[in-house]
Structure 1
Amino acid sequence: MPPPSLTDGQQRYLDHLRVQRRLAERTLTLYADALRRLSGFAAAEGLDLLRLSLPQARRFLAKLHGERLKPRTLSLILSAWRGWYRWLGQNGLVDANPITDLHAPKQGRPLPKALGVDDAVRLAEHHQDPADPAVEALERCIVELLYGSGLRVSELVGLDVRHHAAAAGWIALDAAEAQVLGKGGKFRAVPLGSASMKALGEWLALRGQWAAADEPALLVGPRGRRLSADQVRKRLKQRALAAGMPTHVHPHMLRHSFASHLLQSSGDLRAVQELLGHANISTTQVYTRLDFQHLAQVYDAAHPRARKK
């Protein structure tokens, strides 16, 4: 049986998130799936979603529990439902939010996975000697911007070569920085280190071989158009395999590596928060736990009182 279609109100809500909140496409896809699931539950019981009561919503939550979904998945589904009803209320379409008091089980917050410094540098400096030098230049630029500046993959693919009215981010070479549009529609300036500037220079020298004449994007593929986040993930995965990385490498792992290594070196949590574009410092504090884990491993391996007899 095919999944139910999105209602007009659900689609308008997702459009609102895309345009006003600038949520990533992956997040929008997950929210759409969650809203379809909600519609399916309501259709099975012949209920009107605009008149959903708290007991009925609790029944839906029980069905989710029955599917043995992970707490993280339950939390995301409830967040999508709650946000939709909040939007409906703001537009005068419902009187109350039936999801307000529904919560997923508490989950332990997993530590972000980061590469060691040596592995991160090895990935950045790996040379595959492809038939087309533009491939190497592009992939090295991707790695240097993700690891060297801690960008989200959505911020990376949104970068344009230069500033213009519709730009969702751009490279300012003269200031050695990138202006990126992060979550919440807020711009922030991210410094570009010498390695990133060198990689950018090498890529920009070859970009014209691929880029269409009217394409503003910094990162383009062989067809001349802006790379998607999925294309970046695929290229990074292949590069990491070729470089002999000990684990699957994805763009957010390089962002985690940037934050962890910077915090280990500087100890300046506020500066790392600003560079990452976190609205709340509690989000950044997870890297202090990662740093402590690293120190604990060093202690276990080196301190005479930690060694097992």
Structure 2
Amino acid sequence: MSQPISSVYQVWIDAFIAYLHNERGMSEHTQKNYQKQLTIIALQLTSFGVESWQKLDVPWVRQVAAKGAREGLKPNSLATRMSCLRSFLDYLVLKGELVANPAKGISTPRNHKRLPKNLDVDETGQLLDIDMDDPLAIRDRSIMELMYGTGMRLSELIQLNVKNVLGDRGEIRVIGKGNKERIVPFSGEAKRWVLLWLNTRPSLLKMEEEALFISKRGTRISHRNVQKRMSEWGIKQGVSSHITPHKLRHSFATHILESSGNLRAVQEMLGHESLSTTQVYTHLDFQHLAQAYDKAHPRAKKKPES
């Protein structure tokens, strides 16, 4: 059992988590992560002799970062902890409990984000060359075709309900991060296999269930089940690299970008709020970006000399 923290700290953590849920629409996973990190920080501050969040200043924030580093936190994990603290202290400023956020401007070392190696087109074709009568195989191919055909996140795919598939319009309604809805186009093999799965799905139903993808028990499929099945199909199909949902999303983004050069469209399809996130995700080089800019931006073209 984790060590209890003072109610002076807990009351504001609880209020912040409620704010993330009710006003920011953040996922339960994100809420739990904030709860965990802020509880750790509160225990650290208590051990330092800091009586409440309102007593927190820049030197104490630096002590929190230093303690995390001494305890062996990896740079990315430490950066995550400090990011949670910054967001929480922004909330306290919003509520008038702090005049300014003492964690602003305090940076932590960070590893470069390692991107998954995307599948090439031939490997993708090899993976998806599944044509069987087994309902689970049809389901699995439908899942992989949909992830590779739309670039949606695993969490988004798991949450899909049958009613979200607008087959006649070639669209799927996806609920992304922050509970934001977006319309994702799907066609070709992705659409063909999803419609085939919808015809096969009743054979696995044991009760009323709104989820698009269900397990052999007839209930909504789990994250772990999808990950496990994809890994197994990668081995079965003889693909040399380890297959994960994120790798299919990454391959989608890379292949669309390589063929179209349209970074903004890829950003919208992936559901990224920031274009810079898409740039990192698709490991663009500057020259590629510069060429796209020179071609597309109305102020980038040189005017003829008069």
The 8 Å contact of residues 158 and 217 in structure 1, kept in 2 or not, is answered as: yes
Partner of 2:127: 123
1:90 aligns with 2:94: yes
- Aligned residue runs from structure 1 range 21-170, under 5 A: 21-50=24-53, 51-126=55-130, 133-162=134-163, 170=164
1:182 aligns with 2:176: yes
Instruction: Name the Cα RMSD after superposition.
Output: 2.6
Q: Residue by residue, what CA displacement relative to the aligned partner does 1:228-281 show, whole Å, maximum 9, x if unpaired?
A: 323322222222232233222221111100000111111221221221122222
Q: Could you tell me how far apart the structure 1 residues matched to 2:45 and 2:78 are?
A: 17
The 8 Å contact of residues 22 and 185 in structure 1, kept in 2 or not, is answered as: yes
**By how many angstroms is 1:10 displaced?**
2.0
The 8 Å contact of residues 152 and 252 in structure 1, kept in 2 or not, is answered as: yes
1:10 aligns with 2:10: no
**Alignment gaps of 5+ in structure 1:** 163-169, 294-309
Q: Residue by residue, what CA displacement relative to the aligned partner does 1:215-234 show, whole Å, maximum 9, x if unpaired?
A: 21111112222223233222
Decide whether aligned partners of structure 1 residues 233 and 108 sit closer, same or farther in structure 2, where only a CA change above 3 A counts.
same
**By how many angstroms is 1:79 displaced?**
0.9
Secondary structure at the residue paired with 1:179?
strand
Secondary structure at the residue paired with 1:21?
coil
Partner of 1:261: 255
TM-score in terms of structure 2 length? 0.82
The 8 Å contact of residues 111 and 290 in structure 1, kept in 2 or not, is answered as: no
**By how many angstroms is 1:57 displaced?**
1.3
**By how many angstroms is 1:286 displaced?**
2.7
Q: Residue by residue, what CA displacement relative to the aligned partner does 1:127-185 show, whole Å, maximum 9, x if unpaired?
A: 5x5xx8221121111101111110011111111111xxxxxxx1111101111122233
What is the aligned counterpart of 2:166 among 144, 164, 172? Answer: 172
Q: Could you tell me how far apart the structure 1 residues matched to 2:107 and 2:170 are?
A: 45
Q: Residue by residue, what CA displacement relative to the aligned partner does 1:183-218 show, whole Å, maximum 9, x if unpaired?
A: 233322211121111111221112123335432111
Q: Could you tell me how far apart the structure 2 residues matched to 1:246 and 1:286 are?
A: 25
Secondary structure at the residue paired with 1:231?
helix
Secondary structure at the residue paired with 1:125?
coil
The 8 Å contact of residues 263 and 287 in structure 1, kept in 2 or not, is answered as: no
1:286 aligns with 2:290: no
Partner of 1:166: none
- State the 4+ residue runs in structure 1 displaced beyond 4 angstroms: 3-6, 290-293
Q: Could you tell me how far apart the structure 2 residues matched to 1:292 and 1:56 are?
A: 40
What is the aligned counterpart of 2:197 among 194, 197, 203? Answer: 203
TM-score in terms of structure 1 length? 0.81
Secondary structure at the residue paired with 1:126?
coil
Tell me the amino acid that sits aligned with residue 126 of structure 2. Answer: R
Q: Could you tell me how far apart the structure 1 residues matched to 2:25 and 2:119 are?
A: 29
Q: Could you tell me how far apart the structure 2 residues matched to 1:78 and 1:181 are?
A: 28
The 8 Å contact of residues 112 and 290 in structure 1, kept in 2 or not, is answered as: no
The 8 Å contact of residues 21 and 183 in structure 1, kept in 2 or not, is answered as: no
Decide whether aligned partners of structure 1 residues 39 and 33 sit closer, same or farther in structure 2, where only a CA change above 3 A counts.
same
Decide whether aligned partners of structure 1 residues 237 and 189 sit closer, same or farther in structure 2, where only a CA change above 3 A counts.
same
